[in-house]
Chains A and B, each alone.
Chain A
Amino acid sequence: MSWKTALLAALSLFTALLLQRSALPLLDLPGGAPLPMVVLVVAFALVKGPFPGSVIGFCAGLVADLAPPSTHGVGREAFVYCLVGWLCGKVAGEIDRSALAPVAVVAVATAATIVLNAVVGALFGGGHISLRSLVTLLPAVVLYDALLAPFIVPAIAVLVRRLDPEPRR
């Protein structure tokens, strides 16, 4: 992974963090606010593979854990994003090149992220989500992220391939 890709990942994920914490919840969308960070981690993992995906996921999650207004459970989102990045990188080799496949991966990854985060949060504190709110929240957020995916995933793929022309192992 070149430094250019790393820089792209850092900038895009920082922007996504700000949007996710500040702008998107303010919009008060029905169900919940989308998670553009998940879409980005999936996008990087799909184009770069499992290991870079997990590193990017870990770093993004750690910053999200530390950033306000998070107060409990530092390490929770780092764990979740790291795992999701790795798994999506593994899946990358398996899926066909259709336009819908990345959308499906993003949708599944979003659902997995929310559930995993709730489980880890229940064990270690932070991210209090009741089962009832999970039921209403999950479909909405998955839908929003799936709607974001067709824009973000190809854009990241094109940018990364341009910045980092070496073929992925």
Chain B
Amino acid sequence: MNREPRRQRTYFILLLVTAFALLTIDYHSDGASSPLHPLEKAVAGIVGPGEKAVASLVKPLTDQVHFGKQPDKVAELQKQLDAATSLAETAQNDHRLVAQLDKLMGWDPYYVDKMLPARVVATGDTLSNTQSVTIAAGTRRGVHINMTVVTGLGLIGNVVQVSAETSTVELLTDPGISVGVRNSRTNTAGIVQGGKNGTLDLTQYNQTSDIRKGDYLVTRGSDNNTPYVPDVPVGKVIAVDNTPGSATHTAVVQPFASFDGLDLVAIIFPPPGKFPHQFFIAPVTPGPTTTAPVITTTSATPPASINPLAPASGAPTSGTSGTPTTGTTSRSAVTTTPPPPTHTSAVATTTTPAVKTTTPKPATHTSTKPPVTKTTPPKSVTPTHTTTPPPKPTTTPPPPGAPTS
């Protein structure tokens, strides 16, 4: 009678030691190379679909009712404005066409074509890591590790684990994540890392270039676009620490994306090879009237096959449809749902100057739309149109093998 409890206590202590051993193993190994990774993947294969099922039961309810605090509309709109401004500034610095962005007031259609929308089905609970979320898209839909994940407002993180039905996204705010960024004003490279209270810490090694409050940051882009594709809005500098004599500049950055109540996110599928983000203004001929430049791109046409926003394959879960929430503003391509029938194609409403005739373009092809669009009334209300991409009438086929300048 005395022996049994003692043996049990031994076993109990063994369990605790096992847990500690696991912790040490996991602490010293990293991500996909961890010996525990296959086990995690196996559990994800079982728990992931469960989380997806539970979320699909609960989402219809939570879409209608807010138990907690109401989302702050003004703050949300301010963030949208900031993110759009960031994109616009990037565009100017890159000599990219601003009208291109007017079109979307947000995401470049180039990106939108390559987005796979997915809903968040599980977040970390109080005990687990709250800096990552499960989303309802996995290998079955082509998701793999190290893909860029965004919301309508900007970057939120990258995919760190996948199973058949779901994948895990590690959020930007995790202290373990660092992202290469570019200051859109000075074009200086830096690195942001998860900081305190949902902000990010920016480190910039170039001493000659200053950081100012209000600077916008976008991703610099990684090799092979993994894990980050270039030019995705990241955040805005809210406080600067310019210690004289310090080897680095540091600053506090407020991310554009809001990480509270993450719901609909999008995974960016970069095309194979180089991400053709270098839109630039073609050398404008000194014609008197045509000052408006034309977007050109150095690479081939994006593959037409990837268009995950098409209604046929777009909705990640059944709960997606019918959230009329943010239809009032821009960025609907990411924050809202497949197009309502009223969406007059985003292309038609743009004010992109179609001056293809004036540009010398033996070397490049225009990525603007065919001249048909000139017939639409210009100066339509830009911020209110929906931004779902039309089924790709936009790109003219590239001259094969054309030498780029």
Interfacial residues, chain A to chain B (CB-CB below 8 A): 14, 17-30, 32-33, 35, 50-51, 54-55, 58, 61-80, 82-83, 86, 113-114, 117, 120, 124-130, 132, 137, 141, 169
What is the bound-complex CA distance between A169 and B3, given in angstroms? 12
Structural contact, B23 and A79, CB atoms closer than 8 A: yes
Cβ contact of A21, chosen from B42, B69, B123, cutoff 8 A: B123
User: Contact check: which of A25, A50, A74, A129 meets B40 at CB < 8 Å?
Assistant: A74
B163 at the A/B interface (Cβ < 8 Å)?
yes
Residue of A nearest to B41 (CB): A66
Q: Given the known A-B contacts A68-B122, A71-B161, A75-B22, are A14 and B127 also in contact in the complex, defined by CB atoms under 8 Å?
A: no
Chain B residues proximal to chain A, CB less than 8 Å: 4, 8-9, 11-12, 15-16, 18-27, 34, 36, 39-40, 42-44, 47-48, 50-51, 53-55, 57-59, 62, 66-69, 121-134, 160-161, 163, 166-170, 174-176, 196-197, 261
Q: Is the CB of A82 within 8 A of B69?
A: no
Residues of A within 8 A of B176 (CB): 72, 125
Q: Which of A22, A24, A126, A127 has the most CB of B within 10 A?
A: A22
Contact in complex: B124, A21 (CB < 8 Å)? yes
Contact A50 to B134, CB < 8 A, known contacts A18-B51, A66-B36, A75-B20: no
Nearest neighbor of B17 in chain A, beta-carbon distance = A79
8 pairs across A/B with beta carbons < 8 Å? A26-B123, A30-B69, A64-B127, A71-B160, A73-B23, A74-B36, A75-B18, A78-B19
Given A80-B127, A128-B129, A128-B174, residue A18 in contact with residue B48 (CB < 8 A):
no
* Closest Cβ neighbor of B65 among chain A residues: A27
The residue among A29, A32, A67 with the most chain B CB atoms within 10 A of its own CB is A67
Of all chain A residues, the one with the shortest Cβ separation from B12 is A54
Pairwise interchain contact B125-A128, C-beta atoms closer than 8 A: no
Complex CA gap A25/B9 in Å reads 36
Partner of A69, one of B12, B18, B122: B122
Chain A nearest CB, measured from B263 CB (Å) = 9
Do A75 and B12 have beta carbons less than 8 Å apart?
A: no
Lowest 8 A-B CB distances belong to which pairs? Answer: A75-B22, A79-B19, A28-B68, A75-B23, A51-B8, A66-B43, A67-B47, A21-B122
The secondary-structure label for the interface of chain A is helix
Cross-chain contact A21 with B125 (CB below 8 angstroms): yes
**Cβ of A77 and Cβ of B128 under 8 Å apart?**
yes
Indicate which residue in A24, A67, A82, A120 contacts B12 across the interface (CB closer than 8 Å).
A82
- In the complex, A76 Cα to B22 Cα: how many Å? 8
Query: Are B54 and A22 in touch, CB under 8 angstroms?
Result: yes
Does the CB pair A33–B40 fall under 8 Å? no
Write out the residue numbers on chain B whose beta carbons fall within 8 Å of the beta carbon of A82: 12, 15-16, 19
Instruction: Find out whether the CB atom of B22 lies under 8 angstroms from the CB atom of A71.
Output: no
Query: Would you call A124 and B125 a contact (CB within 8 A)?
Result: no
A20 to B125, CA, bound (A): 6
Task: List 11 additional A-B contacts (Cβ < 8 Å) besides A28-B67, A71-B170, A124-B27.
Answer: A21-B125, A23-B55, A26-B62, A33-B125, A54-B12, A69-B122, A74-B40, A75-B19, A75-B20, A117-B127, A128-B131
Cα A61 to Cα B128 with chains together (Å):
10
CA distance A46 to B30 in the complex (A): 38
Known contacts: A24-B125, A68-B48. The answer to whether A63 contacts B43 by CB under 8 A is: yes
Which of these, B16, B23, B261, contacts A76 with CB under 8 Å? B23
A79 near B27: Cβ-Cβ < 8 Å: no
A127 vs B132: C-alpha distance when bound (angstroms): 10
Contact indicator B175/A128 (Cβ below 8 Å): yes
* Contact between B124 and A70, CB atoms less than 8 A apart: yes
**Complex Cα gap A68–B44 (Å):** 6
Is B58 a contact partner of A113 (Cβ separation < 8 A)? no
- B22: which A residues are within 8 A, CB to CB? 62, 65, 74-75, 78
Q: Are A28 and B19 in contact (CB under 8 A)?
A: no
Whether B23 pairs with A54 at a CB distance below 8 angstroms is no
Using Cβ atoms and an 8 Å threshold, which residues of chain A touch B160? 71
Give the Cβ gap from A59 to chain B, nearest Cβ, in Å.
9
Docked pose: A117 CA to B15 CA in angstroms: 16
Return chain A residues, CB-CB under 8 Å to B57: 23
Q: In the docked arrangement, what's the CA distance between A21 and B58, Å?
A: 12
